[in-house]
Amino acid sequence: MSRTNLLGLDLNSLEEFFAEIGEKPFRARQLLQWIHQYRVVDFAEMTNLSKALRQKLEETAEVKPPEVLHEYISKDDTRKWIIKLSCGNSIETVYIPEKGRGTLCVSSQVGCALACTFCSTAQQGFSRNLTASEIIGQVWLANEYLGKDPKGNRVVTNVVMMGMGEPLANYKNVVMAMKLMRDDLGYGISWRRVTLSTSGMVPMIDKLREDCHVSLAISLHAANDKLRSEIIPLNDKYPIKELLAACKRYVDVEQRRHITIEYVMLDGINDSIQDGKDLIRILKGLPTKINLIPFNPFPGTDYICSPKPVIKRFQQQLTDAGLVATIRKTRGDDIVAACGQLAGEVQDKTRRTQRLAEAKQVTFQ
Ligand code: SAH
């Protein structure tokens, strides 16, 4: 019988686990603290548990974080960890220190099935969903590597689900892990500081509204359906109008909440004055902050980042219309850790890499 990995169980699931082995639910609280606050993985060291219970845990369970294969540190102090999974694949997690906060960019899947044309992860194809242990394990590992600041505070103050994968396509495990990020016995990060980024899985956005109150970011990247479907195939299923309606329902739950709209700047593709006008029109009435992301290149891509003056002009156009628009600072590009550059080692079950290569051959013949 395989042992249950307790690392990925939130408070409720851990209470259920203890009920199953005939123990009191309050044990779950003790375990959460040992695992996530003290990062103790050996039951023998959990001194406020009886010897008999520790023995029982050793027989039925384990606390098994994923393994770091390699750590890269950028000139700008951004860090990237390549994390090895038991299946032989690897994923990437990035830590971005800023003044007064530190943001961890967490992966949710091995590869991605969504095939967005401008994203490096997508070019790798898809292998599988990460387990809740593998997702929260990235937060666990970052804390293990980074420790605390001189005042004794944790340095991971924010989490963005913006690493490899589409988090809403791995809903159950992602929500379980996000609950652990929030739990005061876990990492104690407020919902506002946990951001989930999605390319727009509408039914799951509605579900998320009921389940956890994280900040939401939408990878919009285009202001009309024709272009959006070209660069984000999922748009065929959930077009812009439906997506923005789901965003409206999401913000309506809590008045103060706004939604971040992500917009990657692709030269000659989505950066014209007309694109700006369309964007202003479709976002009318929705409380949003627009984050313009300079396109980060990766091997094999034909896209080019919009020139800086064009990005500035686009930003100005949005600001002049009364919208809040910021330009995302590119971090960690010297260690290939910037947005859309995370690739890991993915054993592609969709054969996407091969299909792409074949398609290119046909085009160039
Ligand atoms: N699948 C989710 C999570 C990925 S988040 C989503 O689509 O939102 C990573 C963010 O970086 C998304 O907004 C994504 O669209 C954007 N991105 C992807 N490739 C990029 C690239 N090459 N340059 C800049 N941003 C990119």
- 240-253 vs 202-211: helix axis angle to the nearest 10? 10
Tell me if 118 CB under 6 Å of ligand 1: yes
pLDDT of residue 204: 98
Q: How far is the CA of 48 from the centre of ligand 1 (A)?
A: 44
| Secondary element (H or E) of residue 105 | strand 101-105
Predicted TM-score (pTM) of this structure: 0.93
How far does Cα 19 stand from its chain's mean position? 32
Closest-CA residue, ligand 1 atom 24, reads: 295
Handedness of CA 261, 332, 344, 86 (dihedral sign): negative
Q: How far is the CA of 170 from the centre of ligand 1 (A)?
A: 17
For the chain, which residues score pLDDT lower than 70?
1, 254-256, 340, 345, 347, 351-365
Q: Round to whole Å and give the CA distance between 235 and 237.
A: 5
Q: Round to whole Å and give the CA distance between 170 and 111.
A: 12
pLDDT of residue 354: 63
Pocket test for ligand 1, best of 94, 106, 118, 261 (most atoms within 8 A of CB): 118
* Phi and psi based region of residue 119 (left: phi greater than 0; alpha: psi -120 to 50; beta: remaining): beta
Q: Round to whole Å and give the CA distance between 278 and 286.
A: 14
Closest to 301 in 3D by CA, of 63, 117, 137: 117
Per domain, the residue ranges of the chain are: 4-62, 67-364
Q: Round to whole Å and give the CA distance between 282 and 245.
A: 11
pLDDT of residue 364: 34
Strand-strand pairing, 67-73 and 61-62: unpaired
Q: How far is the CA of 356 from the centre of ligand 1 (A)?
A: 19
Give the single-character DSSP code of 49.
Answer: S
One-letter amino acid at 1 equals M
Show the tokens assigned to 201: 């899985």
Q: Round to whole Å and give the CA distance between 365 and 186.
A: 56
| Secondary structure E strands in 155-275 | 158-161, 194-198, 215-219, 259-265
For residue 218, which atom of ligand 1 is closest to its CA? 8
Closest-CA residue, ligand 1 atom 26, reads: 340
Q: Round to whole Å and give the CA distance between 33 and 52.
A: 20
Q: Which CATH number fits domain 4-62: 1.10.10.10, 3.90.79.10, 3.30.750.200, 1.10.150.530?
A: 1.10.150.530
Q: Round to whole Å and give the CA distance between 233 and 203.
A: 17
* Phi and psi based region of residue 268 (left: phi greater than 0; alpha: psi -120 to 50; beta: remaining): left
- What would be the CATH architecture of the domain defined by 67-364? Alpha-Beta Barrel (3.20)
Helices (H) and strands (E) in the chain, counts: 12, 14
Q: How many CB atoms lie within 10 A of CB 273?
A: 10
Contact by Cβ (8 Å): 119, 339? no
pLDDT of residue 212: 87
Q: How far is the CA of 339 from the centre of ligand 1 (A)?
A: 6
Closest-CA residue, ligand 1 atom 21, reads: 340
pLDDT of residue 254: 66
Tell me if 292 CB under 6 Å of ligand 1: no
Catalytically active residues, by annotation: 92, 339
Q: What is the DSSP string of 62-110?
A: E----EEEEEEE-TTS-EEEEEE-TTS-EEEEEEEEETTEEEEE---EE
Q: How many CB atoms lie within 10 A of CB 295?
A: 24
pLDDT of residue 345: 67
Q: How far is the CA of 143 from the centre of ligand 1 (A)?
A: 24
Closest-CA residue, ligand 1 atom 13, reads: 219
